[in-house]
Chain A
């Protein structure tokens, strides 16, 4: 790796850190200035003013705003997201640590399938440019993108889970199976887990495959117009080689970037689907935390999602500069 690329990566990283800092600050303000009472989830018959004060002190809410901010930043830097309001003895991190893998499994499986389908579909659409199949195909894809995911999920649930009882309707596995999993590995080795994954994954694929498909299609059309593609035709390569090795390979670059970005955004966007399928992930926790006014938890979940997004944005930049030597070079040109 050349010095230019290293500089580029370091610069991007610093920039990401700065972006994250601003987001974190906004998050702090949003949660501190919110009109709802941060202790709402504690109200009970026996709740007294003294207890309220004690609680405020326990969560550091009695200090002046700027002091809270400093403490908050310092804690974040140590990746200490604080304690939840609603789970005794559990830190926010404990809870998120349990949720995160599930969200990641769902996100990755759906994205990989969707991008697989999308890339192949996009190549096909580009190859069949102008045909009836292409027109119907792209219109259908637009339709799937227009359908609300939760609605698709509900329809799929109605038939596959409730009417035909083919697939489980919610969660990641029955508890009797789940409690035997000691590690994430056990979970991943369990067929039951994968069976539970089918419906939510499929629902997401219905929605997610549209972007890579349309992107791949238009990139292919663009690349097929490029001189180097003409060149490889002129050079007498077989058509599939031209389509796959030259055109598709180059057209894939933006799709790969989109995939990388997609990981971040999906983790934030799966909220609705996780709720439809009771998938124990970050999104469901976030919604419950917000509903139950467990602010440290909501804030933590939000922060984690934002962190992943910013990180994936960073990775996407880096990936792009590594995959496409031109980007790295323009970065280098600025320093050399």
Chain B
């Protein structure tokens, strides 16, 4: 499938989901759905760096929060429509990603992961001490009840939900394009063996910077509309541990090598968490994430995607090969 076709197909899927929400006449669908979609974007963003290049980012929450706080700043300086804020949030977090990339260029494996953790702490401390955005006191972002688009009064949450839907489709499309392009090919060589990749002519440092930037930008975009969703933004909730955990757990559970993995992981785990919140309703919620994560990495190292491949009995080549050469040589 060509990328534009892919995009259109998924926009249609998104439209159906949205129409379904309208049919339900139920705000809960939009609120819960928003959270799940937000995780789709976040997990997809994380996976571009973590899944494609194999660099584990523990600081997803910081990127998410930078997007959210960019919106808070804009809200105070010059209120803009949310779609623009998403772009601004993407730029800010993309730049943070680029900076992180430069700072950690020569770090590999666990050192990189620890550096991202440190970066998150430093950024959170900066935000906590920055009174303009509310500091540790938090910032109130009062959203209107409805949005007037061409005379139509659209409930604000439906607007946010629709934006998140479109953003999710964009993120998936970007992830898929990257994955199937020369760039994605290069990312995969970095994941497998960086020294060998260099020897094959892959400019690994430049590619890593592109991955940190792109991944950061997507995660920032996921965070940009968040202040309008939550209404009251505090550093501790913007930098919430759940973002760091979920953005890692979701791709790992879904499968990290393809754009489908984070999507599956985010929908499965995100929905499960939403359901658990209103059913089991206790610390068990966190236990589910922990058990699923550990269970999956032990039993199904390639996530749900890997299980599907196994179930369908796909040949080894189909699993490992991006392009299978069919003609007999």
A binds B: no
Binding site for B on A (CB under 8 A): none
